[in-house]
Structure 1
Amino acid sequence: MSVKVTIEPVRRPGLRAEQVRELARGHAQVRGHLEQVEELIAGDAAALGHDPGPGAAFRAHVFDPVGNRAVELRGTLDRLDEVEVRPSAVRPRPQPGELAAAAEILRGDPRFPSGEDVVIYEPMPPLADLERPDGSLVRRPTLGVYNPAGGPRHQIVAVDLAAHEVDWHPADVAAHTDDDCEKHLPEGVGSLVDRGGPDQVRVRVVRDGVELWNLVVVRPRASQPAPDGAGVELLNVRYRGKLVLRQAHMPVLNVLYGDGETNFRDWANQETVFKATGEDPAGWGWRLCSAPPQTILERPEDDRGDFQGVAFHHDGEELRIVSELQAGWYRYVSDWRLADDGTIRPRFGFAGTKDPMTCNRHQHHAYWRLDFDLDGAANDTVEQLQDGGGIVLDSVPIKRETSRRRRGTIKAWQVLDKKTRRGYQIWPGEHDSSSDSYGVADAWFLRHRATELHDGGHMGRPSDSKTHLNRFLDGEDIDGANLVVWYAGHFLHDQAAPEPHQGHIVGPDLIPVRED
């Protein structure tokens, strides 16, 4: 039996970042909200909704780094002269140019340690803004200084780009310390360069002339929602010609430490390098591998690599779609596994580079958003599979929007088309754990809304960074509706009690149901 994987670029509907900036610069309300519009930070604005056409809706954020303020643009692609402008609390992480300028200021500071092996890296949190007496905020990117000679090994500083000043002891960051967690040397600021390539591709898997999978894959750097992304994003996923998922991605990622206070809301669109051997049929950033790709999880002693983007590998039974990401000192692996029998296994892995914190007990939470379209967008239903004491699990319909925890008799859930009874069962992964008060829940079942791509959480206090998915629960009827499932995996990282399994990986198994 022969398997062929093909990859080809496809157009991405929406507005490019420069189009968003130009739209903002020419809008009177934007100029009224922001201090300046010449140096705006903006990302692409992807078209929203199923099968977006020329009149599709979009949302975009533009940020003024001088005034440290942002606005949100809402409109449709065919009526850009009617865009609605709203103030926004979005504060994007420092951009490559900001980090390069901050590193230059830092190196010129007389307190910067000497030595060729000193590394300037991206720490957490990415910003340590300073509040002025009038309540406005000065934007200050943070930088980590790693000095292997010690005294101390790790220092996190904040840089005021406008004033060309370095704050060596900013508030609300890790203290200077010789504590040195993890094994991998961090990538220095500016050492990785995005060399372009398409944002998304169409992927086909054909076995003996039969097309098994046909889908669009979006790189993490372009994944939605903006500005934090959602890892490797899948669109219009078809198995044997039938649509099963309209969109699948992971828009919410956070972590809480054992002190109950230290917390971060992470991003999932900053690609970093890993090892992948093969060819690049669709341009830079897309690699079809001749051997399994090796991320930080497979190479515990060496996180260096020759590839940055999305790698594909078919092992004879399933297609693996993988990318390695960074958020400060964290390293994440965004991984999808599409088996020839129709099983889908979303996976997410957790690791890190040298830093002063991650040897302290902490728990990661990853939230996938699965927009099922089974034999059409509408007429879907969800059922809870639970142990009622019999040989076969009981199937209990869920009629209204709700959330669930993986506890007691609950074993799994299934999303089915009401007419054909085709669909997918969602079986929790062996290491997915169950939510605590910070993790909130393990699954949410919602009626589809194109604008409900992000929960609104942000960096700040634990109450800010925890997931806010419950705000989407308003009692809507979901029996026979277009369904979206959010699924959470939780990983406890405790060096005093390491997990016995290989790697730090969570994720469910989506098992096809065929009753026709």
Structure 2
Amino acid sequence: MSYRNLVGATALMTGALLGAAVPAPVQAAPVLPCSAASTVKETLPNGTTWQMCWRIHDKAGLILEKVSVSTTRNPEPVQVLDSIRLAQLHVPYDSGDMEFDDLTDLGMGGYFLETLDGDDCKGGSSRLGSDGSGEPQLREVLCVSAEPTGLAYRGREETWDDNGPSSVLSTKQGHDLVLRSISKLGWYEYVTEYRLHDDGQISARLGATGDLAPGTESDAARGWPIGQGADYKATMHYHNAFWRVDFNIAGKGGERVDQYDTTLDGQGDSNAKLKTTRTTIAKEGTFSKVNQRWWRVTSKTSKNTDGHLRSYELVNGGDDRYEGHPETKPDVTFSQKNPCEKYASGNASDPECPPDISTVLDFVKDKETMTDPVMWVRVGFHHVPRDEDQSPMPMHWQGFDLVPRDFTAMNQLTPDERTGQNGNPEPEPEPSGVGG
């Protein structure tokens, strides 16, 4: 059994700026508490700059800290995250005879952290760093790259006057700043990846590659035949990944957790009416997605130039829920920040912390009032092997997105010709009579 964590670090190009900046709230640039070697500060082609500290932990692997963003229209850096990292990788096999907590049993750093080689960082730049084991030697363990993401936006504004119709096309290609590391634990190899988008979004992903663990499963309900005939069946299993996310919006901290639910609300003239309601989550707890539910972490003090409170929204990715343990059922857990709450499971293995705090359920059982919330995100993947997983296994990903909501008054990539459309601009005429 093996696990690999690829820490991708990003090397970027600096592109042309998007024009004159709109005035932003006066704010001191964050001072990063890390050395130059542990700092990533890169400007993407569209003018967005991300800066942060990075390090490798022997158990958690790649950790990003003090993450801030600025754009050409909002040039003052604003902090988003205090830290983000993996908090567990739980791997139970459907046969019921193998189960691993990879972070606390083995760890994504130390001996299991791979030195980048070959195509691991093609097109990017690899960074030297400690493997988190405490040993002084440095290895190339972080890959930093700027990667194109395709069309970022497109809008054609049409006008009509005495001379007839005319139009202005706004279109732009997007880029991500990508940080990656690789860890090999037995047969599996894992890629830890953070994608920092030029529109302010952050995507946390875990990729799995390497090889299937050896072993024969005779039961067709728990194994899938690979190779010649049906004699050899690779065992089905889960990858339950947890992340720990600690926000610190604008360096203020003390955020509020908001939950939104959309439900039916009667019938309108042409179709069903819907209503979306907000519930403020004041105390610790675990939550799952039902009734079109979503969450955001909202600053209580920091506002954009429209006077709206800044926040980041959790957008869950594809997910297979594992029902074998209570702590793997909730989609997200919010807890009051506690330095002894480090791992979503296997937390009791930390000799510096109480032995009765083992899982995220223990973190929230006292329902403490949250004045500094931490978000624990779980994303599961049920791996049903296939012939094509041989060999090496194609990369498969699981993860989630943190999407800015009211972080800036307009799209962080708004072009000059669209800056006057904040709020409720005059609608364009629709010659076809069809809108959407």
Give the TM-score, by structure 1 length: 0.50
Tell me which residue corresponds to 2:100. Answer: 264
SS class of match (1:450)? coil
**Structure 2 residues not aligned, in runs of 5+:** 1-11, 16-30, 71-76, 132-138, 149-174, 217-233, 265-272, 304-308, 350-354, 410-436
Matches for 1:28-427 after TM superposition, within 5 Å: 201-207=38-44, 212-218=49-55, 222-223=56-57, 228-240=58-70, 241-266=77-102, 267-269=107-109, 270-272=112-114, 273=116, 275=119, 276-277=121-122, 283=128, 309-316=141-148, 317-353=175-211, 355-357=213-215, 359-389=234-264, 390-391=273-274, 393-406=276-289, 408-419=290-301, 420=303, 421-427=309-315
Q: Which residue in 1 is equivalent to 2:367?
A: 475
- For residues 415 and 206 of structure 1, do their structure 2 counterparts lie closer, same or farther at Cα, with a shift above 3 Å needed? same
Shift of 1:442: 1.7
Q: Distance in 1 between the 2:348 and 2:368 partners?
A: 30
Identify which of structures 1 and 2 has the higher relative contact order when contacts are C-alpha pairs closer than 8 Å and 6+ apart.
Answer: 2
Say if 2:325 is the partner of 1:433.
no
What does the per-residue CA deviation read over 1:168-189, in whole Å, with 9 as the maximum and x for residues that have no partner? xxxxxxxxxxxxxxxxxxxxxx
In the alignment, the residues of structure 2 paired with residue 364 and residue 208 of structure 1 have an alpha-carbon distance, to the nearest angstrom, of: 35
1:512 counterpart residue number = 404
SS at match of 1:472: helix
Letter aligned with residue 507 of structure 1: G
The change in CA–CA distance for 1:340 and 1:334 in structure 2 (over 3 A counts) is same
SS at 1:369 equivalent: strand
Give me the whole-angstrom Cα distance separating, in 2, the residues matched to 1:395 and 1:475.
20
Shift of 1:353: 2.6
CA distance in 1, matches of 2:276, 2:92: 35
Residue pair 1:377, 1:482 contacting (<8 A) in 2 also: no
* Offset of residue 351 of structure 1: 2.6
SS of the residue 2:89 aligns to: strand
Closer/same/farther in 2, CA of residues 200 and 357 from structure 1, 3 Å limit: farther
Q: Indicate which of 378, 394, 416 corresponds to 1:488.
A: 378
Give the whole-Å Cα distance in 2 for the aligned partners of 1:254 and 1:378: 30
In 2: Cα distance, 1:483 partner to 1:491 partner = 26
Q: C-alpha distance in 2, partners of 1:200/1:404?
A: 39
Please give the alpha-carbon distance, in whole angstroms, between the structure 1 residues aligned to 2:263 and 2:388.
Answer: 34
Deviation at 1:334, TM superposition (A): 0.4
Q: Could you say what the CA RMSD is over the residues aligned between the two structures, in angstroms?
A: 3.5
Give the letter for the 2:367 counterpart: G
- Cα deviation, residue 354, structure 1: 5.7
What is the count of residue pairs matched by the alignment? 290
Tell me, in whole angstroms, the C-alpha distance in 2 between the residues paired with 1:258 and 1:308. 36
Aligned counterparts of 1:363 and 1:459: Cα–Cα separation in 2: 22
3-state SS, counterpart of residue 84 of structure 2: strand
Cα distance in structure 2, aligned partners of 1:341 and 1:210: 10
- Looking at structure 2, the residues matched to 341 and 261 of structure 1 have their Cα atoms a distance apart, in angstroms, of 45
Pairing 1:451–2:340 present: yes
Aligned partner of 2:59: which letter? G
Runs of 4+ in structure 1 off by over 6 angstroms are: 50-53
Query: Which structure 1 residue ranges, 5 or more long, are not aligned?
Result: 6-49, 54-197, 287-306
Does the CA-based 8 Å contact 1:253-1:366 persist in structure 2? Answer: yes
Partner of 2:3: none
Output the amino acid matched with 1:376. Answer: G
How far residue 311 of structure 1 moved from its aligned partner, in angstroms, is: 0.8
Question: 1:230, 1:202 → 2: CA distance?
Answer: 19
The 8 Å contact of residues 238 and 322 in structure 2, kept in 1 or not, is answered as: no
Q: Shift in Å at residue 231 of structure 1?
A: 2.9
Q: Which amino acid aligns with 2:146?
A: H
Q: Structure 1's 471 and 282: CA in aligned 2 closer, same or farther, altered over 3 A? A: same
CA distance 1:344–1:284, shift in 2 (3 Å): closer
Q: Give the direction of change, closer, same or farther, for the CA distance of 1:281–1:508 in structure 2 (3 Å limit).
A: closer
**Alpha carbons 1:403, 1:443 under 8 Å: kept:** yes
Superimposed CA distance per residue, residues 389-408 of structure 1 (whole angstroms, 9 cap, x where no aligned partner): 255643222111001123x2
CA distance in 1, matches of 2:41, 2:183: 24
CA contact (8 A) 1:405 1:435 kept: no
SS in 1 for 2:297: strand
- Verify the 8 A CA contact 1:252 1:368 in the aligned structure 2: yes
Supply the AA of the counterpart residue of 2:62: V
- Note if contact 1:330-1:353 (Cα within 8 Å) is conserved in structure 2: yes
| Amino acid aligned to 1:277 | K
Partner of residue 14, structure 2:
4
2:319 alignment partner AA: D
Change (3 A) 1:503 1:392: farther
2:219 aligned partner = none
Contact 1:411-1:427 within 8 A present in 2 as well:
no
User: Is residue 231–residue 250 contact of structure 1 (8 Å, CA) maintained in 2?
Assistant: yes
Shift of 1:209: 9.7
Relative to 1, partners in 2 of residues 1:497 and 1:394: Cα closer, same or farther, differing over 3 Å? farther
Cα distance between partner residues in 1 of 2:381 and 2:43: 35
Work out whether residues 59 and 108 of structure 2, in 8 Å CA contact, stay in contact via their aligned partners in 1.
yes
The answer to whether the Cα contact below 8 Å between 1:285 and 1:310 also exists between their aligned partners in 2 is: no
Q: CA deviation at 1:412?
A: 2.0
